[in-house]
Amino acid sequence: MSDSFDLGSPPQPAASAKPETYRVLARKYRPQTFSALIGQDAMVTTLANAIRRGRLAHAFLLTGVRGVGKTSTARLIAKALNCIGPDGQGGPTIDPCGVCEPCRAIAEGRHIDVIEMDAASHTGIDDVREIIEASRYAAVSARFKIYIVDEVHMLSKAAFNGLLKTLEEPPAHVKFLFATTEVNKVPITVLSRCQRFDLRRIPAEKLADHFARVSEAEGVEAEAEALALIARAAEGSARDGLSILDQAIAHADLEGGGVRADAVREMLGLSDRGAVRDLLALLLEGNAPDALVALRRQYALGVDPQTVMRGLLEAVHGITLIKVGAAEDPAQPVEERAAYRDWAGAMSFPVLHRLWQLLLKGYEEVSGASLPIETAEMALLRVIHAASLPDPGELARRGPDTGASRPAAPATPAVPPTPTPPADRTPREFADALDTVEQAGQIALVARLRHAARLVRYAPPEIEFSNTRPLPADLLVELATALKDATGRVWKVAMVDAPGERSVREAELDAVQARHDAVAQSAAVLAALDAFPGAELIDPPAAKRSLS
């Protein structure tokens, strides 16, 4: 017996099994079937039809932002083309079985005939030359030899050129799958040899549903609002969202509870949406002291001033969408949607547009300021000051206030007042309608109508324009709203299939030209032109400015 054994020592327990290495959610829940690939229905339909009809391209280019499933889709295509089914007799299918040896080997990244290459670290012609040489040989065990090249835009110009001939006429057993986030950097000669699929950003509501299923599978309770916040922060990327969810679950474990919205806001440094609504209400009320206190409170909680400004911009944008009749965002909290509806009913389009411009300017200033919180405070004070100014359209409707200088009228015997019908404020002509809208402050709207609108019929409260020169739908809605505010009547503004009159701008130009021709033919001008050869008659600058 060897001297190395210690007979007096107690027997050692058997080595415990090595714990399984934790896999992050983005890897653990990577889609293994096309049905699990969310948000890319159009691409899946095209691939399914191509496989059923046997019209398989020899090269595919998958493009899109990070985390939408480009590499996962490439692996799914590799499985779909090489699946042999549970009985080993199957062919290419859009629904790979996942149990045959090719499917399992591809999913585990160990299939000898499915070669993945990262173009970010293999950029040269030598790397591509290896692919070209190896592609001449048939697949070892699979139906197709497949090359998956990630971030293909990182290849050098020489590498792209070396790949062109093989990419144009590859062997029948070879398929190329390229993935890139910057398709504009891929040469057009390569793009023309590939079947291109643009993977879309995944909608926030679909991401939130996906995160809810993942949370349930992980046995973690998560608030719907928390998942909605994560989905918005992901910006259409499933991988980014799952990484944030992974972090939120870890944060929840430390807190001893589920994934809560307030914890997610704190983790991401997001401004509380309720606090944003409260701040917006203070701005609209013109309450400067409380608005600055609310901003400082968010800053003390660790919220970046730029994030607060962005939240205010998102709120104004949401209110404007509600006002034009857009569908409500189901991911928004109920109280937020209710507040947006109330504000949309109380504020006019000019106020919303002015508020957006002021906040947007403030956001840009804060983003590049050396004193961001101070800059944000000044930006909010500017918003409050502008909100307290009288509306130009309202001043125009009121007219000059001369009550202070008017002498008191002599006393007259009291006469019982006789009711008088309210004055009809409906413009009788289309030109009068434009003047009414312009006096209400809608200068930009009137300018667009003067240049582009061709009137077919003006019969208050109905206006019809020719669709020979189509007008944007929002322009018609703004005109109807402005006329309703000015006249108190509901107006119907529509496009019809008729030629219509010349636009106001064209009519004005015709009038100017007619005056110009009449003056040019007058005896005095003709004599002047005869006395000064080479002279020409031009319109005065004031006339040009009036038509600009």
219: left (phi over 0), alpha (psi -120 to 50) or beta: left
Residue 103 in contact with residue 112, Cβ under 8 Å?
A: no
The domain 204-268: what is its CATH number?
1.10.8.60
* Start-end of CATH 1.10.8.60 domains in the chain: 204-268
Question: How far apart, in Å, are the Cα atoms of 455 and each of 90, 447, 452, 499, 503?
Answer: 66, 15, 10, 9, 7
CA dist 188 and 198 (Å) reads 16
Render 303-357 in DSSP notation, one character per residue. Answer: --HHHHHHHHHHHHHHHHHHHTTPPP-TTS-HHHHHHHHHHHHHS-HHHHHHHHH
- 512, with CB counted inside 10 A (0-12, 13-18, 19+), is middle
The CA-to-CA distance between both ends of the chain, in Å, stands at 109
pLDDT of 269: 63
Which CATH class name applies to 25-198? alpha beta
Q: Which residues contact 116 (CB under 8 A, 6 or more apart)?
A: 109, 148, 150
pLDDT of 409: 45
- 344, with CB counted inside 10 A (0-12, 13-18, 19+), is middle
Query: pLDDT for 369-417, tens place per residue?
Result: 899 999 999 999 999 887 555 555 554 555 555 444 444 444 444 444 5
Which residue numbers in the chain have pLDDT < 50?
Answer: 1-11, 14-16, 395, 402-416, 418, 420, 542, 545, 547
pLDDT of 331: 60
* Start-end of CATH 3.30.300 domains in the chain: 430-501
The token pair at 487 is: 């006249």
The 10 Å Cβ neighbour count of residue 254 is 9
Give the sign of the dihedral formed by CA 219, CA 224, CA 230, CA 234.
Answer: positive
CA dist 118 and 253 (Å) reads 36
Closest CA to 166 of 129, 132, 143, 202: 132
The domain 430-501: what is its CATH number?
3.30.300
DSSP state of 264: H
Q: Which residues contact 531 (CB under 8 A, 6 or more apart)?
A: none
pLDDT of 61: 93
- What architecture (CATH level 2) is domain 273-388? Up-down Bundle (1.20)
CA dist 191 and 167 (Å) reads 10
- 356, with CB counted inside 10 A (0-12, 13-18, 19+), is middle
pLDDT of 402: 46
Alpha-carbon torsion angle 375, 377, 382, 384, nearest 10: 160
Q: Which residues contact 167 (CB under 8 A, 6 or more apart)?
A: 58, 59, 176, 190, 193, 194
pLDDT of 112: 92
Render 169-232 in DSSP notation, one character per residue. Answer: S--TTEEEEEEES-GGGS-HHHHTTSEEEEPPPPPHHHHHHHHHHHHHHTT--B-HHHHHHHHH
Q: Which residues pair with 496 in a beta bridge?
A: 466
Closest CA to 275 of 491, 283, 403: 283
Residue 62 in contact with residue 182, Cβ under 8 Å?
A: no
Query: pLDDT for 404-439, tens place per residue?
Result: 444 444 444 444 454 545 556 788 888 888 888 888
Which helix (H) or strand (E) element contains residue 12? none
The token pair at 453 is: 């609108």
